[in-house]
Amino acid sequence: MRAGSSSPGSSSPGSSSSGQSSPGRSAAWARWWRADDGRVTAFVVVLVTGILGLAGLGLDGGMALAAKVRAVGQAEAAARAGAQAVDLEGYRATGRIELVASAAVADAQSQLAAAGARGQVSVQDGQVVVAVTAIYDTRLLTLAGITQITVHAEARAAPRGGVNAPDP
């Protein structure tokens, strides 16, 4: 507020304290109202920018987290599908559960394709390892120049025996 100006609730010259309106009070109100010179506008711009930033973090952060959860689910499903590719003849002959690596990779990749996911599949130490990468296109964070968020997920699965069999 400028020096010499009065606020709406204060007494000014020509106004009475009895609450009745006078020409002096109206003039003081008008002077006070015009005295901001655009400072409120700058404050509103900063405030709205901050609110949009927080909304962008909330919305796009939550959606990126959901994309991560989806990617983890897709990786786990593909790893489980690949872990079902066991060598049945070898199991019947020896009782040992072993993966057929090429079939495990093909089954896991087929599961990823059915889910519409992109990823890499390998067999390491008797386990099917699936790594999925997903890209989330942001909505509000695009205003800040962040157009995509990339999420990664990895899952491993190994074949197991029946309920009564010991783990290999």
The pTM assigned to this predicted structure is: 0.69
| In a domain? residue 24 | no
Residue 160: its pLDDT value, please?
Answer: 85
- Report the domain count for the chain: 1
| In a domain? residue 28 | no
| In a domain? residue 69 | yes
CB-based contacts of 90-98 (< 8 A; 24+ apart in sequence): 96/168, 97/159, 97/160, 97/161, 97/168, 98/126, 98/159
| In a domain? residue 8 | no
| In a domain? residue 14 | no
pLDDT in tens, 79-110: 999 999 999 998 889 988 899 999 999 999 99
In the numeric block, the tokens 């400028």 are attached to 2
Token reading at 47: 């405030």
Domain residues for the domain of 125 are 39-157
| In a domain? residue 63 | yes
| In a domain? residue 167 | no
Residue 14: its pLDDT value, please?
Answer: 45
Residue 95: its pLDDT value, please?
Answer: 85
Nearest to 67 by CA among 32, 116, 5: 116
pLDDT band at 16 (very low <50, low <70, confident <90, very high): very low
| In a domain? residue 143 | yes
